[in-house]
Structure 1
Amino acid sequence: MNLILWRHAEAEDIAASDLARQLTTRGRKQAQNVARWLRARLPDDAVILASPAARTIQTAEALTDQYRVVREIAPNASVDAVLAAAGWPEGIASTVVVIGHQPTLGEVAARLLSTEETRRSWAMKKAGVFWIKSRERNGDGEAVLLAAITPDLV
C-alpha cells in the first residue's frame, strides 16, 4: 500500500469556526502545484480521503472531484483513526491519499517511520506531502519513505 499524507495548504487564520477556515490565495496556489505533482504520479484507482474542514476539502478539490470526506480524520484526530481510515498497512486501496492536519499527520509519519525511542511528531509544512509505502521484508512489515516534498519543491 502507498499512503500519502498531504497537509492542507495555507488557510486563513480567522473564520466562524476552525472547520470553516478557507484557503488563502497563496494556499490555493500551493494546493494546485502539489496536486499537479501528485496527479502525474497517482494511479487512477487512488482513494482520496479528506478531513471535513473546508481547507482540506479545497486542497482535495485542487487534485480531483473524486474524494471522500471522513469525519474521523478531522483536526486533532488520533494516529489510530487516520491509519484505520486508510486501512494501513493493507489499505482500502493500493494508494490512499489522506488530506489532513498537523500535528496528526506528522505523528502518523513518526509512528510509521521512527523507532520507539525516537518517535515524536514530525514537522510538516503546509501543503507538504509524505509518501510512505508498506512492504514485507524478511517476514516483517515495514514502512518506507518514498518521498517528502513541500510546495516550494514542486
Structure 2
Amino acid sequence: MDLLLWRHAEAVDGTPDHSRELTERGLKQARRMAGWLDAHRPKRLRVLASPTVRTRQTASAFTDDFEIVPALGPDAGVSDMLAASGWPDASGATLIVGHQPGLGRLAALLLSGAEADWTIKKGALWWFTNRVRDNETQTVLRAVIPADFA
C-alpha cells in the first residue's frame, strides 16, 4: 500500500477555523503540488480530505474526485487517519489531505515506530509505502516534497 500525506496549503488566519480559505500563495502551492502529483501519482489513488475549506480547496487543485471524511478534521489523531486510510493492509494508494499536528505525528509513527511532534510544512507532501521483506513489514519513505519544490 502507498500512503500519501498532504498538508493543506497556506490559509488565511481567523475564525471559524473550519471556514478558513487558502491565500493566493496557498492556491499557487496547491496547484504546483497537484501538478507534481499528477505526474507521479499511483495508478489507483483514493483521495480523502478533512471537511475544512482549506483542505477541500487543496484537494480540489488536484482532483474533484475526493471523499470528505469528518474524522480527518483539524483534531484528527493518528488512529483516525490509519482507520480512514486502511494502512497498512488496504490495496492501492490513499492520499490524505489534512492538518498538523496529526499528519506529523503519523509520519513519525510510520518512520520511527512512535508518535512524536514532527512538522509537515504547509502544502508539503510525504509519500510512504510498505513492503514485506524476510517476513517483516517495512515502511519506506518514497518522497518528501515541500510545496516550493513541486
TM-score range, shorter chain: over 0.9
Matched, 1:64 2:63: yes
Matched, 1:123 2:123: no
In the superposition, the TM-score normalised over structure 2's length comes to 0.96
Fraction of identical pairs, as percent: 45
CA shift for structure 1 position 98: 0.2
1:139 pairs, out of 124, 135, 139, with 135
Matched, 1:47 2:46: yes
* Count of residue pairs brought into register by the alignment: 150
Give RMSD over aligned pairs. 1.1
1:150 pairs, out of 134, 146, 149, with 146
3-state DSSP of counterpart to 1:63: coil
3-state DSSP of counterpart to 2:79: helix
**Using the alignment, how far apart are the partners of 2:126 and 2:44 within structure 1?**
19
Matched, 1:106 2:104: yes
Residue segments in structure 1 that go unaligned for 5+ positions in a row: none
C-alpha contact (below 8 Å) 1:109/1:121 kept by paired residues: no
**Using the alignment, how far apart are the partners of 2:83 and 2:117 within structure 1?**
18
Residue identity matched to 1:40 = A
Residue segments in structure 2 that go unaligned for 5+ positions in a row: none
CA shift for structure 1 position 5: 0.2
Q: Deviations over 1:67-123 (max 9, x none)?
A: 0000011001110110110000022x411000000010000000010144xx51211
Stretches (4+) displaced over 3 A: none
